[in-house]
Amino acid sequence: MLPNHSQYVIIGAGIHGLSTAWRLAENLTKSGEKVEGKIIIVEKSGISDGATGIACGVVRNNYFQPAMRKLMAHSVKVWESDPEAFSYHSVGYMQISPELMRDDVRQIYQEQKEIGYESTFIEGEAESRKYMLELFDDWQAEGITSVLHEKSGGYANSVKSMQGLAKKVKALGVKIITGVEVTGFVKSSQTGSVTTIKTNQGDIGCEHVVVAPGPWARNFWSMLELPRKIELKDLQGNTHKDVNMWRFWQLQEGVLKVEPELLRTNDGKIPPVLHVDSDAPLYSDVDKSLITDELWGIYYKPDWGFGGIQGGAAPYEINKAAEEVNIDPYGAASPEFITGPEFSNMWVSALAHCHKRFEGTMPKYHKEPSGGIGCFTADSFPVIDTFSNNVTFIADSNHGYKMLGLGCLVAEEILGKTQELLEPFRFSRFKEGKLHPVSNSPYPWS
């Protein structure tokens, strides 16, 4: 049953909603305040039923953008603080790249060193091949000239990690109320602050609202009457009017239903999460036809939660106006937006391009809910800011699951402590031209 009022109302029981509630409740408890009744989370379905529950689960710091790299270094520490509760596997992460990306990846490595994030960087085609063969004796990818091996990071089992986080939240006295769909906000005519949250189960009075909606960001943005079109100054100083605030990309992921143990290192260990970008021609493992001779990329890992080798490839933008894109109750694609028909052939063929052990495994490809639609901001990076005086909006721009520490920083800000790590992600950056630098990666978020 919904309370009539709560001091803090958090919308969404995904990674950001739960982590915000966790740190907020911890801080209130430390200060001697009673948590029960002060913090509630409302969720329209169930814990981890949205995008978080079907997330790939990769945790990495492979970002060309310094602000993202610092934010991820913080988040990795949070993951490492309780790996058992978060079902977190610290196996590391590898960015394996062609010459086109070598300078960018070298810069990532150098800046990782500056912030104390441990990694190893290998340069040169022969040296890179040798390094990979020491891990996998069947490595056969061509044209690789750099390998960045992050020693931290890895992956987590998405549903189990959210169950563990929810357990922490409930133990602190936070109430999670499911089956509650937010339908609107009532603002004060004098201050403009949100005073009431309207839901399908009744109204809730509030003093502060946290909106952590994942792929539903556009919907809540509209409810708060925030601009659908924005002014944006690009990195060259050019100003663009009427830029769409939101864009939707179809995330392409799948599972190869083989024993996860098939992808072990030469010494029998679980390997790092592998991300391979390549400009070598990619041929079908089925009929040897050319799939692409342009830059392509895949990521993959053995995953016992998914029951096989799980991973994905670069997304494709949905060619529809943002307001026309529908999102189903699970954060996955509507029926018309499924992984492209060529995805399975491309992804499995790319696995075979990298490892001989995956040759002939196309019949093992299995399609299941994974990936879904991603709701991206105008520059593909998060927006974390306060609107209407008392609404903290977390628009993760599909960087979500890996950023377990983001909600913790948001909680500190709600309690009056401005967080330097969040400053580069304010909404004002679009108009001010403070955008994040763009790399040569085929991914819009790297």
Has residue 338 got a pLDDT over 60?
Answer: no
| pLDDT at residue 257, as a whole number | 96
**Ramachandran region of residue 214, left (φ > 0), alpha (ψ -120 to 50) or beta?**
left
| pLDDT at residue 330, as a whole number | 45
Convert the pLDDT of each residue in 216-272 to its tens digit: 999 999 999 999 999 999 989 999 999 999 998 888 888 999 999 999 999 999 999
Report how far residue 442's alpha carbon sits from residue 212's, in angstroms, rounded to the nearest whole number. Answer: 27
Q: Which helix (H) or strand (E) segment is 30 a member of? A: helix 15-30
Beta-bridge partner residues of 327: 333
Q: Of all residues in the chain, what percent carry a pLDDT higher than 70?
A: 93
Q: Are 308 and 239 spatial neighbours (Cβ–Cβ below 8 Å)? A: no
Has residue 1 got a pLDDT over 90?
Answer: no
| pLDDT at residue 252, as a whole number | 84
Q: How far from chain centre, in Å, is Cα 197?
A: 27
Has residue 9 got a pLDDT over 90?
Answer: yes
Has residue 335 got a pLDDT over 80?
Answer: no
Contact residues for 177 (Cβ-Cβ < 8 A; gap 6+):
1, 2, 40, 41, 42, 43
Domain ranges of the chain: 1-90+154-243+380-446, 93-151+247-376
15-30 and 158-171 are packed helices; what angle lies between their axes, rounded to 10 degrees? 30
Convert the pLDDT of each residue in 51-102 to its tens digit: 666 777 888 988 889 999 999 999 999 999 999 999 999 999 999 999 999 9
Q: Which helix (H) or strand (E) segment is 373 a member of? A: strand 371-376
| pLDDT at residue 326, as a whole number | 72
Do you know the residue count of the chain? 446
Convert the pLDDT of each residue in 270-306 to its tens digit: 999 999 999 999 999 999 999 999 999 999 999 998 8
Is it true that 1-90+154-243+380-446 and 93-151+247-376 share their CATH fold?
Answer: no
| pLDDT at residue 331, as a whole number | 47
Helix or strand or coil: residue 282?
strand
Token pair recorded at residue 413: 């800000």
Rounded (10°) CA dihedral 236, 239, 242, 243: 20
| pLDDT at residue 368, as a whole number | 61
In this structure, which amino acid lies at residue 240?
H
Report how far residue 235's alpha carbon sits from residue 298's, in angstroms, rounded to the nearest whole number. Answer: 28
Query: For 320, what's the count of Cα atoms within 13 Å in the CB-facing half-sphere?
Result: 14
Contact residues for 379 (Cβ-Cβ < 8 A; gap 6+):
232, 429, 430, 435, 436
Report how far residue 328's alpha carbon sits from residue 335's, in angstroms, rounded to the nearest whole number. Answer: 9
Nearest to 365 by CA among 315, 314, 316, 309: 309
| pLDDT at residue 249, as a whole number | 86
In this structure, which amino acid lies at residue 112?
Q
Helix or strand or coil: residue 253?
strand
Q: Are 408 and 224 spatial neighbours (Cβ–Cβ below 8 Å)? A: no
| pLDDT at residue 133, as a whole number | 98
Convert the pLDDT of each residue in 377-417 to its tens digit: 999 999 999 999 999 999 999 888 899 999 999 999 999 99
DSSP letters, 304-350, are TTTTEEEEEEEEEE--S-GGG--B-TTSSB-TT--S-TTHHHHHHHH
Domain 93-151+247-376: CATH class, spelled out? alpha beta
Longest dimension (CA), the chain: 69
Report how far residue 354's alpha carbon sits from residue 139's, in angstroms, rounded to the nearest whole number. Answer: 6
Give the confidence band of 316 by pLDDT, cuts at 50, 70, 90.
confident
| pLDDT at residue 199, as a whole number | 97
Q: Are 14 and 404 spatial neighbours (Cβ–Cβ below 8 Å)? A: no
DSSP count for the chain of H helices, then E strands: 9, 24
Has residue 336 got a pLDDT over 50?
Answer: no
| pLDDT at residue 444, as a whole number | 62
Nearest to 210 by CA among 411, 417, 415: 411
Q: Are 275 and 94 spatial neighbours (Cβ–Cβ below 8 Å)? A: yes
Tell the CATH topology of 1-90+154-243+380-446: FAD/NAD(P)-binding domain (3.50.50)
Q: Which one is predicted more confidently, 367 or 314?
A: 314
406-414 and 66-81 are packed helices; what angle lies between their axes, rounded to 10 degrees? 100
Nearest to 439 by CA among 158, 64, 99: 64
Give the confidence band of 45 by pLDDT, cuts at 50, 70, 90.
confident
User: Average pLDDT over the chain, rounded to whole?
Assistant: 91
- Give how far Cα 153 sits from Cα of 5, 15, 264, Å: 40, 17, 18
| pLDDT at residue 327, as a whole number | 66
Which is it for strands 58-59 and 5-11: parallel, antiparallel or unpaired?
unpaired
Q: Of all residues in the chain, what percent carry a pLDDT higher than 90?
A: 78
Convert the pLDDT of each residue in 169-182 to its tens digit: 999 999 999 999 99
Nearest to 388 by CA among 202, 226, 115, 192: 192
Helices (H), 136-288: 158-171, 217-223
| pLDDT at residue 271, as a whole number | 97
| pLDDT at residue 329, as a whole number | 44
| pLDDT at residue 340, as a whole number | 54
State pTM to two decimals. Answer: 0.92
